[in-house]
Structures are given as C-alpha cells and as structure tokens.
Amino acid sequence: MSDIQPIIPGRPAPDLAVPLVGGGRFSLRDQSIEHFALINVYRGKHCPICKKTMQAWDKRADELKARGLSVLFLSADDEETAEASVKEWEIENLKVGWGFELAEARKWGLFISQTIKDGEPEYFTEPGLFLIDPEFALYASFVQTVPFARPGLDDLLSAIDFVAKERYPARGKVEHVPD
C-alpha cells in the first residue's frame, strides 16, 4: 500500500518549516499571506528543467510580489547542494528552502523517484506546486510524476488573477464519491 496522502482542497496544508539558503527558516504558518503562498517543490540541482523554471520565476519575482504572492522553492537537496544551485543558477530574488524530508513530501502528496543516472541523488521528489490560501488551506495543487509538463507561469498568473477577481472557490473538494 502506498504512503502518498493527497491533500484535499479546502483542507489545511501540512505544516512546513524548512531552512533557507542564506540562513533563516521558512515556516508556512508564520507567513502573512495576502492572496496565496506558492510552494514550488523542485527535483533538485540535478534537474535542468528545474533550473529553467526557477530562473524564470526569479526574473519575475517583483511581479509575483505585486500580486500578493509569497513564493518558496523547495527541494530535498542538502544545504551545500541547494546553495550551489542558487549560486550557479544566479537566483537572486526567491526564497529557496532545502532539506525537505521525503516523508514530509509524501504528506504533500508528492511522488518520489529513485536515481536512474549519475548525478541524481539516490531518492528525490518529483515536482509539485501548491497554492495555499490565507487560512493555510490548500487551494490548488499541481503534482507531477515526471520533470516536464509543469504549469506555465503565465497560465498560473492568469488563473490567480481570475480567482482573485471572481472570488472563484477551490474545486475538487469531494472526499467521498456517492455510491
């Protein structure tokens, strides 16, 4: 039996407290969320798609902040590897967390992969993007089993704008399907 636990929209997000590259800690429950906290779990330094994704978001950090979004990129990489990613990828404007435990990742409904080539850690998370509302409940999640086909930033921002304007509720909240 699998230990993956999907989060149902509208339910509280799991606790999340991780160290940050450059010092300090990120604690989800300590965030003052205007519209959404965006938790972007990436595979790690070994992933070239993660690099492109993080660089694209970093270039638009001011736009994200102007929309009232609190953004965290997070991986299971150790401190040294996460610091190397931030430096080599020239990330200047994003909070980047490290040391995301695989057991904690499962509580977020994330998939775990095992290494298939040199340069990959033995185990690591596959990508996931979580929108957490001001009450710390899950609004939406985008969970991948592979590194590609992630939500595009423009599409995501358009959706967030729509949600804010129309006060669109979280969907997918049905926990038990009627017989």
How much is the pLDDT for 73? 99
Question: Going by C-beta distance under 8 Å and a sequence separation of 6 or more, which residues neighbour residue 24?
Answer: none
pLDDT digits (tens, 9 = 90+) for 4-33: 878 999 999 999 999 999 999 999 999 999
Give the CATH number for residue 126.
3.40.30.10
Summarize pLDDT for 44-76 with one digit per residue, the tens. 999 999 999 999 999 999 999 999 999 999 999
List Cβ neighbours of 135 (8 Å cut-off, separation of 6 or more): none
What is the per-residue pLDDT for 4?
Answer: 84
139-164 confidence digits (pLDDT tens): 999 999 999 999 999 999 999 999 99
Q: Do residues 131 and 164 lie in contact, with contact meaning Cβ atoms separated by under 8 Å? A: no
- Is there a domain that residue 89 lies in? yes
The per-residue pLDDT for range 129-142, each reduced to its tens digit, is: 999 999 999 999 99
Neighbours of 84 (CB within 10 A): 14
DSSP letter assigned to residue 137: B
Q: Specify if 136 maps to a domain.
A: yes
φ, ψ of residue 19 in degrees (nearest 5): -70, 155
In a domain, 172, yes or no: no
Domain assignment present for 108: yes
Domain count, the chain: 1
Residue 1 pLDDT: 64
